[in-house]
Amino acid sequence: MKNYLFFTKDGFTFDPNNKKITNMQILGHGEGKDILEAFKDFKINQSYLKEFAFKEVIALEYVGDFIKNLELWKDLKIWNLYQKS
């Protein structure tokens, strides 16, 4: 079985200073032999999401503690520069 995280770019949240920030929302996960089967599993297990108006759902396959095809911040200096810009 393959594992997938499902998320969306729709939506926003607020930082501690009550400033609106656009972000990505993790909606849940699904399991299956392929992405379509995993999406069906996701829709069954997170059926309450049908009540919301998400326009786009993105999937990312993950294996164990590692996520495929996703680069993470590896250098704290880069993160600090990002925060200052």
Tokens of 65: 């503690």
Please work out, in degrees rounded to the nearest 5, the angle formed at the alpha carbon of residue 52 by the alpha carbons of 46 and 58: 65
Q: Beta 58-63 vs 25-32: how paired, if at all?
A: unpaired
- The predicted-structure confidence for 26-62, as pLDDT tens digits, reads as follows 999 999 999 999 999 999 999 888 888 888 888 988 8
Q: Which pLDDT score, from 0 to 100, does residue 65 have?
A: 64
How high is the mean pLDDT of the chain? 79
**Can you give the residue ranges of every domain in the chain?**
2-84
Chain centroid, CA 14 distance in Å: 17
0.85 surpassed by pTM = no
Q: Is residue 56 a contact partner of residue 28, using CB atoms and an 8 Å limit?
A: no
Mean per-residue pLDDT, 60-70 = 67
